[in-house]
Amino acid sequence: MQGIRFARKEPDKNSVLKTIENEEIKQWFFQTFEDFTPAQKFALYYISKGNNVLITSPTGSGKTLSAFLFSIDHLLSLAKTNQLEDRIYVVYISPLKALNNDIQRNLETPLREISQLTPFASKIRVAVRTSDTPADVKSRMLKKPPHVLITTPESIAIALNAPKFSEKLLGVKWIIVDEIHALAENKRGVHLALSLERLVSRMKEEPVRIGLSATIHPLEDVAKFLVGFEAPEKKIPRNCTIVDVNFAKKMDIKVLSPVSDFIYTPSELLSKKLYSMVHDHIQKHRTTLVFTNTRSATERVVFHLKHEMGNGVSENFDEEIGAHHSSLSRDVRLEVEEGLKNGKYRAVVSSTSLELGIDIGYIDLVLLLGSPKSATRGVQRIGRSGHKLHDVSKGRIIVLDRDDLVECAVLAKYARERKLERVKIPRNCLDVLAQHIVGMSLEKKWDVREGYNLVRKAMPYNELSFEDFTSVLRYLSGNRYLEDQRVYGKIWYDGNEFGRRGKMTRAIYYMNSGTIPDEVAIRVFTEDERRFIGKLEEEFVERLTPGDIFVLGGKTYEFRKLWNMKAFVIPQPTKKPTVPAWFSEMLPLQYDLASHIAEFRHWMRQILKKPKREAVNQIGRYLNIDPSTANAIYTYFNEQAKYARVPAKNELLIEEFLDEDGLYCYVFHSLIGRRANDAISRAVAHAVATRKRGTVRVSVNDNGFMLTLEEKLAKEDFTTIFRENLEVLVKQAIGNTEMFKRRFRHVAVRSFLILRKYGEHTKSVHYQQYDAHILAGLLQQRFPDFPVIKETYREIMEDSMDIENALKYWNAVGDGKIKITLLNLPMPSPFAFNIVAASVSDIVLMADRKEYIMGLHKKLMELLGSETNGVPA
C-alpha cells in the first residue's frame, strides 16, 4: 500500500494480542501494566503488518515501549529457534545523547525482567554508539554487534562510512526515530534524512521506519520526512500510517498575571509578586516543572526561589529546586533528570532543554514564565505534566508584561483548540548535501543520475534541481570555481560519474561531519582587576565602541576595549545603558500566533466601542480568562486607542517620533512574527539607507520593528518602498553584514569548505571566522552562484528569516490590500514600548561606501574645527 494515511479505528485487543508470538512477553507485559495504551495498540497492530508508522502521543502513553515491543518479540522468537544472528536488527536514533542512556535502561530493564521468564531473552544485546563511545567499545561492537543499536543522527552518518561496521547495518529490519519533532525543523534532521536514504539504498529489503513525535503539525509532512519517497520524480511517498492519539489527553491551561497593573507597579515589586506566585504554585503541587525562555532567566529564577523563598515549604527547600539548561554540564543535567524521576525535587527550572522527551517522572504542574511564543510549544511544554494518559495536563502561563499578557491569552485560546503552527522543514540544504556527497563518494563510484535520484528520495531534497546537485559536485571536485584560489578537491567528478579522491578525504569526512556549528563567545573581564564577568556573543561586541554602556547579567558596564577575544569593561552601576540588551537566545514569535494576535487587535476595535463592563465581560469570555486579567487587557487597548490607534487587520500602522538624541524613529506595528519582521525590517532599512544616503539602525521585536535615522521620512517613501522587490532588497541588505559572514562560516564548515579539523590541526572558531571573512568576500565578488554562497542566502532567508510569510505581507502592503497609516506622535504609543526597548538587530549603511566615509570625515573635521576654533587643513 502506498502513500500516507491516518489510522482511524483503534484495533481491538485480540487482534493486538495476536501480533505477539511469545507468551513470556505477554506475561511480562500484563504483570507490569494494566493494559495496552491506545498508542501501543495502534503501533503493534500496524508495525506487525510491516507498515511504516508515525506515532504522535503525549507523555505517559507508552509510545517508546510500543516502538520496541514488536521487535523484541521477534528477536526473542529468533533466539528461541537459534536463528538470532550477529547483526543489527533494530536501530534507534535520538537527537539527545543523554536520552540514549535513558532508553538503554528502559529497554534493558524489560529485557532483564523477560529473561527471568525465559533465558532466551538474555541473548538479545543492546548497545549505545555515540561520539562519546570509546574506540575499544566500538571495535568490540564490530566483532559482536548489538541486536539493538542506540545512536544519534551524527553517529549513524559516520557509521555509514565505516567500511566494516556499515555492513552490519545492512540487515536492519526496524529503524526507530525518536523526538522526530525536534529533528524535522532543522539541519540535523535533514542530515539524518539523507543518512537513512543512503543506508536504505544499500539494503536488499526496506526496513520498517517508526517515528515517535510530540505534538506537531502537519503530521503528513512529518510522515513524509520520516519515510521519504519511493518514486521521487513522481512525488510518491513510501507508505506510512499516522497514529495520532493526542486527543486523549485533556489540557487545563490558564493565564495568570502577578499584578493587576504592569505599568505603575515598580519592577522590584513586580518581581517579588512573580516569585511569590511561582512559590505558591510549587507549594500547592507535588512536583512542578518551570519553563523560562532563556538560560540566564533559568539561573535567575532558581536563584530567587532558593534564596528568597526558602522558608515555609520545607527545611531542605534549597536542595529541592533544580536547574536544567543546555549550558550546564552533561553530568549536572543527568543528575537533575535522575532527581526528577526519583521525586527528589519539588521544582525544576528549565529553558528549552526539558522540552524533549526525557522520561522525567511525575509532574503535576507546568509553569511557563513568559510566552512560549507558539501554541505548539505551549502544548508540548504543558504536555509534560500529568503522567498517566488520562490525567489532565495542567499548565499555568505567568505573564510578565502587557504584550505578554495579550500574546499568552491568545496563545492559550489556540492551544486549547489545538490550532497549531505549521512546522517548516528546511529544503534543499546544499551544505548538508555536500557532506553526504563526500560520504557517498567514499563508498563507490556513482553515476550522477543514480546519485541524484537517491538524494531526492529524502523528503528535504525531493525538489532539488539537477543543476544545484551538479553545482555541489563541481564545487567538491574543485572544478571551475576558485581556479587560482584553489580549493582542494574532495571528490573526483567528470560530468557523468563521481567518486572518491585523495587519501585525506575519509579523514576529513570523519572529523568534520555534523551540522552543529562551533560558537564564538567573547569573555568579559573588568579592566582593573581582570575579574571574569561573563560571556557575550561576538556579534554584539563587534558593534560596541569604547564608552558604550551595556547590560550583562543584570548589571551595567562601560565597554573599554576588545583584545584577543576578550572584552574589557568598567562597572558603571549608575549609568543608563546606551546600547540595548541583546536577546538572541530568546524564542521568536511564530507567524501563525502573530496573525491571531493581529486578528485579536482587530476584534478589539469593536469591543472598545462598547461600555467598559460589557467589553471586559466579552474579552473574558472570548479568551477564557478571569475578569481582572480581562480588565488589564481592556485598559491596555483603551490607552492605545486614546493615545494613538489600534491597528486594523488590513492596516500597517507606522508611528514617528524623535528620540533623546534627536534621531527620527519609525515604529512599524507589523504583527507577522519575528522571523518575518527580521526580513522586512532589513529590506525597508536598506531601501531607506539607499534613498536617504545615511545609516539606518534596525531593532526587531516580536510585535514589529523600529528604524532609527537622522532624516525624516514621508508616507510616500514607505508606499514606494513596499512596491520594490522584497527578495532583492533582503539579499542586498544582508550580503555585506557580519551576520552573513557568521552564517557563511557555519555553512562553509558544514560544506567542508572550511575545515574544523585537518590532519593534526584543529582550527579555532576564531580562525574559522577569519577564513569566512576572506572567503565570503572573494566568493560573492567572483562566483555569486557558488553553492556555499547560495546556501548561506537560503539558510538566512528561509530558515533564520521567514521569507515566505514576509513576502505575502510585503506584497499585500505593496498592492494596497494592507494600508499604511503614518502617525506622528510626541512619544511612543503603549503598543510601541517593547519595540523601542528591543535590541538592535542590524545597522544598515548606505550602499555607497565612498560617500559614507567622506561624510564621516567631513563631520569629524567640522566637529573638531568648531571645538578648537582652528581651521582644518
Partner 1 sequence: MGFQHEIEISDGVFLTEYRGVFLSHLSICVISDLHIGLESELLGLDMNAHIQEMEERIRKLIGRYKPEVFVINGDFKHTFSGNVKEEWRGVPRILGNLADSVETWIVRGNHDNFLLSIASVENVKFAESFEIQNFVFVHGHREVRFVPGKIYVLGHEHPAIKLSDRVGGYVKMPVFLWRDSRFLLLPAFSPWTYGHDLAEGDVLLPSLGYADYLEAEVVGCTEYGLLKLPRLKEILSAGRL
Report, in Å, the least distance between residue 564 CB and partner 1: 10
Cell numbers that stand for 552 in this block: 550583562
Cell numbers that stand for 152 in this block: 544519534
Query: Among residue numbers 559 through 588, which ones bind partner 1 (CB under 8 A)?
Result: 560-563
Q: How far from each other are the two terminal CA atoms of the chain, in whole angstroms?
A: 84
If the CB atoms of residues 23 and 542 are measured against partner 1, the closer one turns out to be: 542
If the CB atoms of residues 119 and 872 are measured against partner 1, the closer one turns out to be: 872
String of DSSP letters for 375-412: HHHHHHHHTTS-SSTTSPEEEEEEP-SHHHHHHHHHHH
Cell numbers that stand for 667 in this block: 515604529
Cell numbers that stand for 581 in this block: 540588551
Count the residues of the shown chain that bind partner 1, applying the rule CB under 8 A. Answer: 55
CB atoms within 10 A of CB 760: 5
Task: Give yes or no for residue 754 binding partner 1 (CB under 8 A).
Answer: yes
If the CB atoms of residues 83 and 545 are measured against partner 1, the closer one turns out to be: 545
If the CB atoms of residues 270 and 562 are measured against partner 1, the closer one turns out to be: 562
CA 757, CA 478: separation in Å to the nearest integer?
Answer: 19
CB atoms within 10 A of CB 812: 15
Report, in Å, the least distance between residue 704 CB and partner 1: 19
If the CB atoms of residues 449 and 782 are measured against partner 1, the closer one turns out to be: 782
Q: Kindly indicate which of the ranges 20-28, 236-244, 754-762, 806-814 contains the residues binding partner 1, using the contact rule CB under 8 A.
A: 754-762
| Residue with grid cell 561624510, as numbered in its chain | 855
Task: Give 143's contacts (C-beta < 8 A, 6+ positions apart).
Answer: none
If the CB atoms of residues 552 and 755 are measured against partner 1, the closer one turns out to be: 755
**Angle (nearest 5°) at CA 7 between 3 and 11:** 135
Q: Is there a cis peptide before residue 218, judged by omega within 30 degrees of 0?
A: yes
Task: Give yes or no for residue 775 binding partner 1 (CB under 8 A).
Answer: yes
Task: Give yes or no for residue 485 binding partner 1 (CB under 8 A).
Answer: yes
Pick one of 374, 708, 751, 841: the residue that binds partner 1 (CB under 8 A).
708
Sign of CA dihedral 161, 162, 166, 167: positive
Map residue 128 onto helix, strand or coil: strand
CA 534, CA 525: separation in Å to the nearest integer?
Answer: 8
Cell numbers that stand for 57 in this block: 502521543
CA 541, CA 533: separation in Å to the nearest integer?
Answer: 14
If the CB atoms of residues 427 and 560 are measured against partner 1, the closer one turns out to be: 560
Pick one of 43, 54, 597, 696: the residue that binds partner 1 (CB under 8 A).
696
Pick one of 508, 616, 788, 797: the residue that binds partner 1 (CB under 8 A).
508
Q: What is the radius of gyration, based on Cα positions, of the chain?
A: 29
| Residue with grid cell 584560489, as numbered in its chain | 485
If the CB atoms of residues 670 and 699 are measured against partner 1, the closer one turns out to be: 699
Kindly give the pairing relationship between strand 393-398 and strand 365-369.
Answer: parallel
Cell numbers that stand for 617 in this block: 465581560
- The distance of Cα 12 from the centroid of its chain, to the nearest Å, equals 39
Q: Are 571 and 553 in contact (CB under 8 A)?
A: no
Query: Among residue numbers 402 through 461, which ones bind partner 1 (CB under 8 A)?
Result: none
Query: Among residue numbers 821 through 840, which ones bind partner 1 (CB under 8 A)?
Result: 840
Cα dist. 491→255, 436, 810 in Å? 57, 11, 43
If the CB atoms of residues 288 and 695 are measured against partner 1, the closer one turns out to be: 695
If the CB atoms of residues 99 and 754 are measured against partner 1, the closer one turns out to be: 754
Report, in Å, the least distance between residue 413 CB and partner 1: 39
Q: Kindly indicate which of the ranges 10-18, 584-592, 790-798, 841-849 contains the residues binding partner 1, using the contact rule CB under 8 A.
A: 841-849
- The distance of Cα 560 from the centroid of its chain, to the nearest Å, equals 34
Kindly give the pairing relationship between strand 288-291 and strand 365-369.
Answer: parallel
If the CB atoms of residues 108 and 862 are measured against partner 1, the closer one turns out to be: 862
Task: Give yes or no for residue 543 binding partner 1 (CB under 8 A).
Answer: yes
Pick one of 687, 709, 729, 747: the residue that binds partner 1 (CB under 8 A).
709
Q: Kindly indicate which of the ranges 49-57, 328-336, 440-448, 860-868 contains the residues binding partner 1, using the contact rule CB under 8 A.
A: 860-868
Kindly state the DSSP code that residue 651 receives in the 8-state scheme: E
Pick one of 50, 343, 546, 816: the residue that binds partner 1 (CB under 8 A).
546
Query: Among residue numbers 651 through 690, which ones bind partner 1 (CB under 8 A)?
Result: 661, 663
Cα dist. 736→583, 746, 771, 845 in Å? 22, 16, 15, 10
Report, in Å, the least distance between residue 544 CB and partner 1: 10
If the CB atoms of residues 4 and 569 are measured against partner 1, the closer one turns out to be: 569
Q: Kindly indicate which of the ranges 25-33, 97-105, 331-339, 702-710 contains the residues binding partner 1, using the contact rule CB under 8 A.
A: 702-710
Query: Among residue numbers 268 through 327, which ones bind partner 1 (CB under 8 A)?
Result: none
x-or-dash string of contact with partner 1, 124-153, rule CB under 8 A? ------------------------------
Pick one of 18, 49, 390, 849: the residue that binds partner 1 (CB under 8 A).
849
- List of residues contacting partner 1 (CB under 8 A): 484-488, 508, 543, 545-547, 560-563, 661, 663, 694-697, 708-710, 752-755, 758, 761, 763, 767, 770-771, 774-775, 778, 840, 843-845, 849-850, 852-854, 856-857, 859-861, 863-864, 868, 872-873
